[in-house]
Amino acid sequence: MRRTLAALTGATLAALIAPLPALPAPAEAASGPATAAPATPAAATAPAADPVAALTRRFKPHRGVRLAENTKIVGEGKKYRAIFTRRAGTLEFGSKGLVASDLTTRFTVPAKSDGGLGLAGVFAPSRTISVRGTAYTSGGLFTDSMPEGKKWLRTPGAPSSLVSAVQQIISTVEPGTLRATLARTAARRPGGTWDGTRTTVHSGTITLAELFKVSPAVRAMLGTRPTGRSATLPVTWKIYLGSDQLVRRVVSSYTESTRGLNSTELTYVNDTRYTGWGSKVTIKAPPADQVADFDELAIGADEARDAQDPVRGYFED
């Protein structure tokens, strides 16, 4: 099951992406500069206020931020482009960082393009509430396997996490990740206006091994330290900081080879927007009488166990 789901994020997705016109990059806000200034070396720019300090000042109980994100997959040679996922919802902070999230994910899959593989359930919309170290998911892969009267599937030991092999891989609400990523800034330039504030876009590259070292979310996703080619996998990024030094937008991309499966490469381009910093947020677990556990599902025990760990092995050599 685990390898099957990993393959779905590689070879199967390549088969699902129908030939589409190249999608334009997201337009800068109308109030942004008409023409972007050329990038300048980071060393030539005066030191900015500390974005990590700006982030940690927002760590207050029942305060949070809204998130909106899309992931675009680009096939080899840039011949195929499609929005693969759209994710949106709310994050809640406590005094030490992220404590809860409520996110809905929708997939864009070309109609009648699964080659008879029966993937409709895999790509069904889902909503996941993560609170107090437990995730609750409604919809998605196991909708038809839920016991009667139950709506939410509980996954214990699943802290609020925003990263995924096929979604944003850089969690800038983690202070250590934000600090380490910005430390690799290669250039800065004006970034237009986002969430009502002028931004400066920082850009650079960080490896998967470096992210594993600094990011609890990446460690939770991978389970084991990446090795070989996966360890040196470059993740290019752009982080848009507002005048208050809070992150308004993160764009990251990396390319994974699926050679040996369908002899191609897929590039994942993830674009995350943050708005409404400091909003009042209270995220609660679903009603207990609507919650089921994996051992209550109408599937095999091995499938239930592996379903809790669908992306481990994705970056293994």
Q: Rounded CA gap, 272 and 181, in Å? A: 15
C-alpha to C-alpha distance for 26 and 70, rounded to whole angstroms: 11
Q: Give the β-pairing of 152-156 and 291-292.
A: parallel
Nearest CA to 203 out of 163, 170, 236, 177 is that of: 236
pLDDT attached to residue 47? 39
pTM of the model: 0.77
Q: Are 199 and 240 in contact (CB under 8 A)?
A: yes
- Residue 237: which of 206, 216, 209 has the closest Cα? 206
Across the chain, which has 317 residues, the per-10-residue mean pLDDT values are 35 39 36 42 50 97 96 75 86 94 85 51 84 90 87 83 77 96 97 96 97 93 90 96 97 80 77 97 95 84 48 47
Which residue segments constitute the domains of the chain, with CATH numbers given?
2-20+38-307 (2.50.20.20)
- Cβ(46)–Cβ(40) below 8 Å: no
DSSP state of 222: H
Burial 161-188 (b: 16+ CB within 10 A, else e): bbbbbbbbbbbbbbbebbebbbeebebb
Q: Measured between alpha carbons, how far apart are the two ends of the chain, in Å?
A: 18
Helix H or strand E encompassing 176: helix 175-182
Query: CA-to-CA distance for 12 and 107, rounded, in angstroms?
Result: 14
3-state helix, strand, coil in the chain (%, to 5): 25, 35, 40
Q: What's the pLDDT score for residue 78?
A: 60
Q: What is the pLDDT of residue 29?
A: 37
The per-residue pLDDT for 290 is: 95
